[in-house]
Amino acid sequence: MTTQPPAVSVVVPTYREAGSLPLLTQRLAAVRESSLPELELLVMDDDSRDGSLEWARASAPEWLDFIVRTERRGLAPAVVDGIARARQPLIVVMDADLSHPPERVPDLVAALTDDIDFVIGSRYVEGGRTDEDWGALRAFNSWVATVLARPLTSARDPMAGFLAFRRSLLDEAGPIDPIGFKIGLELIVKCGVREIREVPIRFSDRHAGESKLNLGEQVNYLRHLARLYRYRLGAGRRRLSE
């Protein structure tokens, strides 16, 4: 008896990532050929105007959808829009800049079982790591952000943007309204995720372009955390009153 390969939608939010998209697509094409023939790629682009759209029109394969977004722009809203457009039952979210290794997509998908709701491509479990040139300041900022989120989840790398889950996980979720970059933490809290598996990855420095992380996004993260803590507290009160 042969097992049908899982059907997967890979959602990639982008803004001015023209330098990375061709190589990302090439590496995902190899994944598609070797193990996930039903993989589709949704590039959710925030109106970059950097040549990305022209590249997609000229060179993108038929299994890639390039969607230009002009309203409610931002990484997390782009992911939410991508999930809504996804045609496959399994969703993978990853960055465009090749900091997340596309070759690990099958491992994240394989880790989804009847008992596992959510899978993270993790820097901080055994076997995971970051590039040596990632920098002490970035590592410190990541550690602080993780500590601040600890009461919300036991995941070792809740800040990760490399995620896999079933689309059906969102069927009974609370309102998904993230701020900033941390879509994974939003989904963990709003979808009531209980069982998480973390698959070790090597997190690389971006292939091209510039990081979007700045002081404004750090402030957005604090605002997002406050909103998630209020949501969790409200959910707990509702359960006590039932």
pLDDT digits (tens, 9 = 90+) for 72-114: 888 888 999 999 999 999 999 999 999 999 999 999 999 999 8
- Which pLDDT value is given to residue 240? 39
Between residues 92 and 138, the one the model is more confident about? 92
Count how many residues are written for the chain: 242
Share of the chain above pLDDT 90, in %: 58
For residue 172, is pLDDT > 70? yes
pTM: 0.89
pLDDT level of residue 174 (50, 70, 90 thresholds): confident
Between residues 60 and 240, the one the model is more confident about? 60
Q: For the residues 190-213, what does the mean pLDDT come to? A: 80
Between residues 224 and 235, the one the model is more confident about? 224
CATH among 3.40.50.720, 3.40.50.300, 3.90.550.10, 3.40.430.10 for 8-241: 3.90.550.10
C-alpha–C-alpha distance, residues 112 and 90, integer Å: 9
Helices 183-190 + 75-85 axis angle, to 10: 60
Over the chain, what is the mean pLDDT? Answer: 88
C-alpha–C-alpha distance, residues 242 and 237, integer Å: 9
Dig out the tokens for 90 from the structure. 């399994």
For residue 205, the one-letter residue type is: D
- Each residue of 206-216: pLDDT tens digit? 656 565 555 66
Dig out the tokens for 35 from the structure. 């193990």
C-alpha–C-alpha distance, residues 24 and 222, integer Å: 31
- Which pLDDT value is given to residue 242? 47
- Which pLDDT value is given to residue 38? 97
- Each residue of 31-52: pLDDT tens digit? 999 999 999 999 999 999 999 9
SS3 content of the chain, % helix, strand, coil (to 5): 45, 15, 40
Residue 11 sits at φ, ψ, to 5 deg, of -105, 125
Residue 92 sits at φ, ψ, to 5 deg, of -120, 135
Between residues 30 and 230, the one the model is more confident about? 30
pLDDT level of residue 221 (50, 70, 90 thresholds): confident
Is the distance from CB of 201 to CB of 95 less than 8 angstroms? no
Residue 185 sits at φ, ψ, to 5 deg, of -65, -40
C-alpha–C-alpha distance, residues 151 and 83, integer Å: 27
C-alpha–C-alpha distance, residues 78 and 7, integer Å: 21
DSSP class of residue 35?
A: T
| Three-state secondary structure call for residue 137 | helix
Residue 4 sits at φ, ψ, to 5 deg, of -70, 130
List the domain boundaries for the chain.
Answer: 8-241
Dig out the tokens for 30 from the structure. 């190899």
